[in-house]
């Protein structure tokens, strides 16, 4: 079976951070610097995509985890994660496919 290439796009204050995963079972982890004045992490969602699990951490502290239908193409809608209390910090965002 061929490994699937999945591209996740996190829109962050006008900047796009892309992560590529070679297999569906492998987590994609990105470090995201939260800038001063930044309030939200914008997440594009498409109802036709499979569920993905997202975990957002500050170091070893898990801030939140949830599932959503993340997309790298035109979203049906956007969801927002409040990062206002984490300005000036680096957060880890881990994304993996649900089984």
Q: Is residue 1 part of a domain?
A: no
Q: Is residue 43 part of a domain?
A: yes
Domain of residue 34, residue span: 6-97
Q: Is residue 57 part of a domain?
A: yes
Q: Collapse the DSSP code of 42 into the 3-class scheme (helix H, G, I; strand E, B; otherwise coil) and give the result.
A: strand
Q: Is residue 15 part of a domain?
A: yes
Q: Looking at residue 9, what is its pLDDT?
A: 41
User: What is the C-alpha separation between 28 and 2, in angstroms, rounded?
Assistant: 18
Q: Label the pairing between strands 15-21 and 6-12.
A: antiparallel
Q: Is residue 14 part of a domain?
A: yes
Q: Looking at residue 89, what is its pLDDT?
A: 96
Edge-to-edge strand list for the sheet holding 28-33: 28-33, 90-97, 52-58, 61-68
Number of domains into which the chain is organized: 1
Q: Which residues of the chain register pLDDT less than 50? A: 1-24
pTM: 0.70
Number of neighbours of residue 69 by Cβ within 10 angstroms:
18
Instruction: Residue 52: give its domain's CATH number.
Output: 2.60.120
């Amino acid at each position: 079976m061929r490994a699937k290439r999945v591209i996740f796009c996190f829109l962050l204050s006008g900047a796009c951070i892309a992560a590529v995963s070679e297999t569906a079972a492998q987590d994609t982890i990105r470090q995201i610097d939260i800038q001063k004045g930044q309030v939200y992490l914008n997440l594009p969602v498409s109802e036709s995509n499979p569920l993905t699990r997202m975990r957002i951490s500050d170091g070893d502290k898990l801030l939140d985890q949830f599932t959503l239908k993340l997309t790298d193409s035109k979203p049906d809608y956007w969801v927002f994660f409040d990062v206002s209390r984490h300005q000036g910090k680096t957060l880890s965002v881990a994304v993996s496919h649900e089984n």
